[in-house]
Structure 1
Amino acid sequence: MIKELKHQFMQTAFVSIVWLTLILSITQWSSSIPFHYVWHIIGIGTLAGIVFGVMYPLLWNYFTFPAPTNILISTVVNLGFQVGAVALYSTTLLERIMPYFIGIAFLTLVGHIIAFLFYKKQQNQKLAQALNHLKPQP
C-alpha cells in the first residue's frame, strides 16, 4: 500500500508540475517569471500529489469511514488544496476569489457528492460482475 501511494504521489506531483508549467508558459509567454516562483510551482505540485495521489486513494480505497464522512473529509481537503494552490499561484487572485469562498465550498461539496454516487455505482457494478463469475460451490 505504501509503495502504491508513494508511486501515485510522485506521478500526480510530476504531472501537476508539468501541467502548471505548460499553462504558465502559454499564459505568461511575454513576461519573465522570477526564479523563486519555481518553488511555488513545486509547492502546488506537491499539494496536488498529497491530495490527489495520497489522500483521495486513502479515503476511497483503504479507509472504512461511512460515505458522508468520506465526502466531508474529501471536500475539506480539496478546499484546503484549492486555497493553498491559489495562494501559491497568486495572492492577488486569492484576494479576488475569497468573497466567493462559500459558493466555491458549496460547489465542491456538490461535486464530491455527485462523484461519490458515480463511484459507488461503478464499484457496485464491478462487484456484481465478480459475484456473477463465481462458480457455485457443491
Structure 2
Amino acid sequence: MISTTNDSSFQVSTDRTRLDVPMIYRFLSEHSTWAIGISLSVVESSIENSLCFGGYIDGRQIAFARVVTDYATIAHLEDVFVIPEFRGHGYAKQLIRMVIEHPSLQGLRRFTVNTTDAHSLFERFGFCIPKRPDTIMERFLPKLYLS
C-alpha cells in the first residue's frame, strides 16, 4: 500500500522493503523516550512481526509507525515517530490517519496506543482514556533494553 497524503510530497507505504531499518533502529535506541537501548535484533523482529508504515519525502524515510494486530479484533499502535527535523508539518497526523484508514485495520473491537505526551494528537483519531481502566493490567519493564 502506497498512498499520497494531503501534502503530495509526503507518502506513506506499508512496503517493508522500503523501510530504513538502520534509521528506525537509531531513532528508537538513541532518541525515543520508550525504547532507549533496544537492540537491532529486537527492532528487526518487531518490524517482521508487525504491520509497518513508513512515511517518506522524496524517497527518504522521515516517519514510522507499526501496528501489532490479529487483524480481526484488536490492534496496538507502537513506535510512532517523525524525525526531529521534519516535525511541525503535520506528518504525524497524516501518518496516523493512514494507519487508522488502512483496510486491514477496519472493524476492530479495540485499537490502543500508549503515549506520555501526545494525547491531543491521538484524540483527533478517536483514541481516549480507557473507559474502564480498572480492567487493564500490564507487565511493564521500562528499563529492559538498558540491562
Flag the structure with higher strand content.
Answer: 2
Q: TM-score, normalised by structure 2?
A: 0.25
Structure with more of its chain in helix, by fraction = 1
Indicate the structure whose relative CO is greater, using CA pairs within 8 Å and at least 6 residues apart: 1
Q: Highest Rg: 1 or 2?
A: 1
TM-score (norm 1): 0.26
